[in-house]
Amino acid sequence: MILVTGGAGYIGSHTCIELINAGHKIVIVDNFCNSERKVIDTIQSITSSSVVCVDADVRDKQKLTGIFKNYPISAAMHFAGHKAVGESVAKPLSYYKNNIDSTLALCEVMDEFDVRKLIFSSSATVYDASNKMPLDEESSLGCTNPYGWTKLMIEQILRDLSISNDIWSIVSLRYFNPIGAHKSGKLGERPTGIPNNLMPYITQVASGKRDKLHVFGNDYPTIDGTGVRDYIHVVDLAEGHVRALDYARNHGGSQAINLGSGTGYSVLQIIEAFEHATNISIPYVIDPRRPGDIATCYAKTDKAKRLLNWQTQRSLAQMCEDSWRFESQK
């Protein structure tokens, strides 16, 4: 069985579906601080499978130990953690304590039970802002916010762990910008409050929940002056985790691997793609740049193709269509 921490979250839940589709049995552990309990029912409905879910904080070693005693765990996927960049700046101690402590607790219990295959949910925020594009896994590392630093620190912890004992097999997946939703329309990104990410904000404007989109800056050195990012369909991302698990089962050591499309799109290009896919106009205003934002960020994905035999399959149009289907069916 595969232990999935944070399995009720946006990326975790889609990965649970792909794990089940690939024939894996899963155990979800989640404290639902950033997710909804009904997501577990949705996973079961989509897959027509029963799912074990334990309501617990990953930092609770006693509960984790109980899971490992009760279920034949063979590997873990670690999604659990605080994830909002802005909030991490306001609450750095909370982010460092939660994200790092949960990883340490998980690794300690895994080690105790001789389970040493781990897929870690990292982020492209670990890359230094001064890098030239595209970013490959050898690009210089450095962060601009506590959230990113927690990811980079955890990557270092996991590298050190694999060096200390070569039985460990660890893959840190550096995500770029996940968007989209499950094709059923039943599962997608459910932000609380004002969305931090572009696509949920666009879909909320499209549904009338918000009157307009705020675009932060139009004077960047990009195709149209707005920020350029690498967007990846969440189901492509989930499939990348399944491939990473297959890799970890056959290889030792620690690897950091980008998961992105390898193509950058500007904010205005995303708006245009959404309007074309849905036939819905998205009003927007240009606001000043946000502190810390960079002009362009997109991935080089050769390593994922080489080691995982993985690349994105879903188009930008599909990302927009699936995002809107989920929003319109809520």
Q: 195 pLDDT band (50/70/90 cuts)?
A: confident
Residue 257 burial by Cβ neighbours in a 10 Å radius (0-12, 13-18, 19+): buried
Q: Is residue 238 part of a domain?
A: yes
Spell out the SS3 assignment of 255-289.
EEEEECCCCCEEHHHHHHHHHHHHCCCCCEEEECC
| Nearest residue to 126 via CA among 92, 161, 85 | 85
Count of structural domains within the chain: 1
Residue 221 is assigned to a structural domain of this protein: no
**pLDDT (0 to 100) of residue 77:** 98
Q: For 186-193, what is the mean pLDDT? A: 90
Provide CB contacts within 8 A for 317, sequence distance 6+: 273, 276, 277
9 occurs within a structural domain: yes
Average pLDDT over residues 113-122: 98
To the nearest 10 degrees (0 to 180), the angle between helices 198-206 and 267-278 is: 40
Mean pLDDT lowest among 226-240, 245-259, 290-304, 309-323? 290-304
| Model pLDDT, residue 292 | 75
Q: What global pTM score does this model have?
A: 0.97
Tokens of 307: 């080691």
pLDDT at 327: 96
Q: Is residue 122 part of a domain?
A: yes
Question: What pLDDT shows up at residue 194?
Answer: 80
pLDDT of residue 35: 94
Q: Is residue 60 part of a domain?
A: yes
Mean pLDDT is lowest, of 81-90, 118-127, 207-216, 256-265, for 81-90
Q: Which domain holds residue 116?
A: 2-180+232-260+300-313
What's the average model confidence in pLDDT over 63-75? 98
Write down the pLDDT at residue 23. 98
10, 95, 127, 147: which one is catalytic? 147
In-domain check, residue 145: yes
The string of pLDDT tens digits covering residues 131-175 is 999 999 999 999 989 999 999 999 999 999 999 999 999 999 999
Judge whether residue 237 has pLDDT over 90: yes
**What percentage of the chain exceeds 90 in pLDDT?**
93
CATH of the domain at 119: 3.40.50.720
pLDDT at 193: 79
Residue 330: per-residue pLDDT: 76
Residue 321 pairs with which residues in a beta bridge?
A: none
Asked if residue 11 is part of any domain, the answer here is yes
Q: Is 147 a catalytic residue?
A: yes
pLDDT above 70: percentage of residues in the chain: 100
Is 166 part of any domain?
yes
Range 198-223 average pLDDT: 97
